[in-house]
Amino acid sequence: MAISAAELQNLAELGSTACAAGEDVLAVLRPRFPALTITRCPSSDVTESPFQQGDYFDLHLVDTSEHCWRLTNNMAATTAVLLAMHRRRS
């Protein structure tokens, strides 16, 4: 599934709103983007530059078409997104 720039923007905005409200970001995003695999990890687990940075998480695009997942910047190859979560800001 290719993802559009508008869909990525919508995902990032909905995710940020969920985080700001203290909601479980995956519980909010997964039902709204059912064809897209969405996962998260601590930002300290990812050394690659993100596709997009945010206040609550960095957004990484993932290509899962091969046996091993790999990060990509190619929206046409994106089949999943990884939310690299920041520590909660006070």
pLDDT in tens, 7-29: 999 999 999 999 999 999 999 99
More confident residue, 32 or 2: 32
Mean pLDDT (whole number) for 76-85 = 94
Mean pLDDT (whole number) for 80-86 = 96
Q: What angle do CA 31, 63, 76 make, to 5 degrees?
A: 85
The whole model's pTM is what?
0.90
Phi-psi region of 22 (alpha: psi -120 to 50; beta: other; left: phi over 0): left
Does 90 have pLDDT greater than 70? Answer: no
Does 88 have pLDDT greater than 80? Answer: no
